[in-house]
Every structure is written in C-alpha cells, then in structure tokens.
Structure 1
Amino acid sequence: MKYFVVFAVFLALAYAAEEKADAERPKTFKRLIPADVLRDFPGMCFASTRCATVEPGKTWELHPFCGRSTCVVSEDKPPRLLELVEDCGPLPLANPKCKLDEDKTNKTAAFPECCPIFTCEEGAKLEYPEIPTVAPVPEDASAEASTTPKA
C-alpha cells in the first residue's frame, strides 16, 4: 500500500508539471487557404518556403517561420487544393507583467515547440487580439475581380 501511495503522488506531480508547461505555451492556430499551384504540377501544392511541390496529404515545415502546412484536397465539386496552415497565431497584447521567456523559447525547434513562451507574474494573464474571421472565397471570385472601381 505504501508503494501505491508513493506512485500516486509521483503521478500527480508529473501531471501537474505537464499542465504547468502546457499553460506557458500559447495556443496554436489553424486556417485553410487556397494552395499555391504551379501550372506544370496541377495536382500538387507548391510549398514556397521549400521551393518544392507537395502531394495532397503531405505536411511540410514553414522554416524560417514557426509553423507547418499540409496539402489538402477540398470536398468541393470540382475539388480544389487547399493549404492547412498551422502556426503560433498573433503575439499577445503588450502586458508589463508578462515577458517573453528567452530561455524557454526555441525559435529553431520544429512546430509547435518553436512558438514563443511567455512568463507572467502571479495573477497576470496574457490577452490576445481578436482575429477576424473571413468568409470562404467563392470558386468564381477571380472571375468577378476587376480593376475598375464600381460606382
């Protein structure tokens, strides 16, 4: 029984340490955008940060930025290629009681470990700017685009 209690306490401490570490790392953000596609490779996404084409379903890191993307085929008829972008999102609003923790932030690590980590004084909390949501771009939006201003 004594070993069970020691083991239970050890698990509780490990879980608390894991929860604390997660609380310091900001949320990550995901968004779908139209994929870049080269005319010579119509069924593949173009990863500009790698200067390479990527097959649907494959993921690539966005170095030198902190993020990753995945090439995705939409469920539209006809299907389109989309890029699922995951990154650290916007930086928090300035707060004198919260500082970027240079020692814990690893800008060269793979995503999401490269996201900035902030340390706040007791009771202080980071606040993030509102991110406006944009309606999906219709497939025929390029046909409607014009350089002539509408009256």
Structure 2
Amino acid sequence: MKPFLVIVLALFVCIAAQDDKKNKLRSTDSEIKIYKRLIPADVLRDFPGMCFASTRCATVEPGKTWELTPFCGRSTCVQNDENPSKLLELVEDCGPLPLANEKCKLDTEKTNKTALFPYCCPIFTCESGVKLEYPEITKEEPKQE
C-alpha cells in the first residue's frame, strides 16, 4: 500500500508544480491585449457547413477552434445566427502593433514567438512614465448581400 501512497504524493507534487508554472505565465496577462473580430469564414464547395482553416489546410466544424500558427492567434468556426447557411470565423489575435515610439522597445527576453496564443504576443518595455499608443481600429459594418 505504501508504493501507491508514494505515487499519489508524487503526482500531487507534479500537478502543484504545473499549476505554479501556469500562474507564473498568467502573471503577464495584464500586458497581453487580445483582439477579437468576426469575419466571413472561408468555406470549400466540397465541404459546405465547415470552415476552412487555411493555416492548417483543413476543414473545421462549427464550434471548434484552431491555432493560427505560424501567426500568433487562434480562430473558432462559428454558425451565423442570422443566416445559418453562412459561417463566420472568430479571430483572436494580438491586434495591431503599437505606434512607433523611441522610448519603447520590443522586449525580446519576454516575447516568445513560438508559445501558444496569447503568450506569443509581443511584449514591449517602455521608459518610466511612457505609455504605448495604438492605432485606432474602426469597426466596419458588415456588408449586406
């Protein structure tokens, strides 16, 4: 019975260590801005009712999500409530880069381009008292077909 207890204890320690790693990763969440937008989904004529994920060269069912690697982002195939025959793609990414500012630099130590979204988003470090400015994003009204 003792070996079983040792294994359970070891698993508990591993799980606690993983949770600690996740918490350390999440400490940078305040620096990460996630931008979301709905766009018309790509659909292949031979696969109606499914989104085409060009970064994976695969079809995806409504409700399913895929990573946009090699880009930093993810997408979800969404059924259009207003017109069920049309599919949408919910794109989540890092958004636009900030406006150029000599007092702010890309922090290459903290930025991990190969991490999963949103931890692959660029992180900038600015001099004390300086705040990054971002281009204004205008929302486009969906085109009526």
TM-score, with length taken from structure 1: 0.76
Moved over 4 A (4+): 17-20
Residue 75 of structure 2 aligns with an amino acid whose one-letter code is S
Q: In structure 2, which of residues 87, 105, 125 is the aligned counterpart of residue 99 of structure 1?
A: 105
CA shift, 1:77, in A, is 3.5
Corresponding residue number in structure 2 for 1:112? 118
Distance 1:46 1:69 in 2: 11
Identity over the aligned pairs, expressed in percent? Answer: 74
Distance 1:26 1:103 in 2: 15
Give the 3 Å change call, closer, same or farther, for CA 72–78 of structure 1 in structure 2: closer
Residue 98 of structure 1 aligns with an amino acid whose one-letter code is C
Corresponding residue number in structure 2 for 1:22? 29
Q: In structure 2, which of residues 67, 70, 77 is the aligned counterpart of residue 71 of structure 1?
A: 77
Alignment of 1:36-51 (within 5 A): 36-51=42-57
Distance 2:137 2:94 in 1: 13
Give a deviation string over 1:32-74, Cα, whole Å, max 9, x none.
Answer: 0000000110010000000000000000000110000000001
Q: Which consecutive unaligned segments of at least 5 residues does structure 1 have? A: 1-16, 141-151
Q: In structure 1, which of residues 73, 81, 84 is the aligned counterpart of residue 87 of structure 2?
A: 81
Distance 1:59 1:104 in 2: 26
Matched, 1:31 2:37: yes
Corresponding residue number in structure 2 for 1:121? 127
Q: In structure 2, which of residues 114, 120, 140 is the aligned counterpart of residue 134 of structure 1?
A: 140
Residue 53 of structure 2 aligns with an amino acid whose one-letter code is A
Distance 1:18 1:71 in 2: 27
Distance 2:98 2:56 in 1: 28
Please say which of residues 121-130 and 73-82 is displaced more in the overlay.
Answer: 73-82
Give a deviation string over 1:109-142, Cα, whole Å, max 9, x none.
Answer: 111000000111111101100012100121x2xx
Residue 59 of structure 2 aligns with an amino acid whose one-letter code is T
Corresponding residue number in structure 2 for 1:3? none
Distance 1:105 1:77 in 2: 40
Pairwise CA RMSD of aligned residues? 1.8
- Larger-Rg structure: 1
Residue 47 of structure 1 aligns with an amino acid whose one-letter code is A
Counting matched residue pairs gives 122
Q: In structure 2, which of residues 88, 91, 96 is the aligned counterpart of residue 90 of structure 1?
A: 96
